[in-house]
Chain A
Amino acid sequence: MAANTDRRRINAPSGGTSAPVFAKPVKAPGYLQSLRPNRTRGPNELRKTCKQTNSIRTVLQTGVVPSASGSAYLEVPTTTASSQSSLIPPTSSLKIAASIQGPKPLPRSAPFSPTLVLTTTVKFAPFATRYRRGYIRDSAERDLGVHLEAALRGVIIGERWPKSGLEVVITILEGDEDAWWGDDKAEGGAGSGWGLLNVLAGCITVASAAIMDASIDCVDMVAGGVAAITADGQKVLEPCPAEHQDLVAACAVGYLASRDEITELWLKGEVGADPDELIEGATHAAMGSVSVLREVLLESMGTKTKVANEVSKRKLEDVEMTG
């Protein structure tokens, strides 16, 4: 008996264990449904401009990773105030960090490329969603990476960086969920539903900010936006999937505001006869992201210039002292 046990490792108890079973948070019939969040903002009102008593505005900041050539962090706040009777937050917020590595020389094995080689890596942190993610990228994350690459490829002027590679690394610290947690369909939904479109739009916006922080040549600022159609035919901008039970179609775009062009389009669901209206709505949502981008970049440009001027002033003083 003792000879059979593995002495080098910590063994499981011999009697076996049973997984804990948690009680459902159901106290009375209808209690669960009373927790369901509802959209309190108007159908054309964006998430960041939503006035909630305890909500924070959208946070976008560039230059958060000192070792990267460009980086940005985006936080789109939750839209519903947390309820008094439950500790579970009603809706999720969106928190994404992006960092840019490069342009750097291609690895020895890579073939010659006259333009910039763009690689995008999108990864959910294991704790990013209500259902835990693995450490290896799954198909949904790879899919997001391909969509993001398409959105960025159309905006970067790649001919100016021959034989170079650019890596865009996105870490999603908190992702939007696909449905409300109390719904049965939300369980086991491994991130292939409506929430993914919000995540993609956020990824596009934050990657765009990071690329501009890295001063890579772009034809325009690309920004992401989402619109959706509910079962009663109403168009909503920047939907929070937990607040809607009945989304039938949604659309995420990567939009160039000053050129009025689209580099990326992802339609999902039964769009109906007129997809143009949905796409139009998504571009309107993207316009909101563009204004945030513009404001943040102008602000960071101001601080960068101020810092550089101070450094040069200090250097000039140094020269005077030694001379």
Chain B
Amino acid sequence: MALPTLALPGTLLGPASKYAPGPGTHIHDSAIYASIAGTVASHPSPNPTTTKLPLLSISRPGDVSSSSSSSSSSSSSSSSSSSSSSSSSSSSANILPEVDAQVLARITRLGARFASAEILVIAPANTTSISADASVCSTPFTAQIRREDIRATEKDKVTVQDSFRVGDLIRAVVISLGDQGGYYLSTAKNELGVVVARGEGGEVLVPVSWKEVRDMRTGRGEARKVAKPF
């Protein structure tokens, strides 16, 4: 059965035995139906060890890279950087933080037991780092980093004050959707932590070790949980 190019919610796309459901689709009566309006795309299975079925997905109509790649089915990784960055800005309208997703966040408040932050950029859970397919949140999501989630070793000696300052941009990973308050983030990995730190005068501080940043002009050092540069 040929796939339709455009789909509306409720459009039958194909049997669940021939395709795997991707974003924008749902399964009803062992068949895959569209759940948003957009262009239909079929990609080869992302991890062929678990399933060999091609992944059916529907992209939102403003999404550029998918509409161009719907004709060539395997151009998901080789799309040029400019077109994928424009797609991230258009498809960012509604994306939520999910568990294992990498995020960029800004520290908003420091407490004795946790630091508060707001999530600004979200990368999907299956990607390893924040790259071109990350998307900017339309509204920031509040999050918390508990003291024991700041670093992986010597957790009992961590202090929040020596790890973050208000206004720092951090790279973190979502570990839980949390309760009614905010999402829970963790920086307990080498490549997670403070990415951009600024001093009191607003000058950018340069990382010198995994736990220190320094102002290159005055030479004054400050303590941070620094993310390992790539």
Contact = CB atoms under 8 A, between A and B. Distances in A.
Contacts of B82: 312, 315-316, 319
What is the interface residue range for chain A against chain B? 35 or more
A215 B181 contact: no
B174 to A, nearest CB: 12
A69 interface: yes
A112 B8 contact: no
What is the interface residue range for chain B against chain A? 35 or more
Interface in A57-71: 69
Contacts of B62: 304-305, 307-308
Given A221-B8, A297-B8, A308 B141 contact: no
A301 B96 contact: no
Contact of A162 (B9, B83, B142, B177): B177
A161 interface: yes
Contacts of A277: none
Given A157-B26, A217-B26, A221-B10, A108 B181 contact: yes
Interface centre among B28, B35, B68, B139 (most CB of A within 10 A): B35
Contact of B11 (A215, A217, A258, A300): A258
Contacts of B26: 157, 217, 219
A116 to B, nearest CB: 10
Contacts of A102: 94
B92 to A, nearest CB: 11
Contact of B38 (A215, A307, A311): A215
A300 B36 CA distance: 13
Given A215-B93, A217-B26, A304-B61, A298 B8 contact: yes
Given A258-B10, A308-B61, A216 B86 contact: no
13 contacts: A69-B93, A105-B142, A108-B142, A111-B180, A157-B26, A161-B96, A217-B24, A219-B9, A220-B33, A297-B37, A300-B61, A301-B38, A311-B86
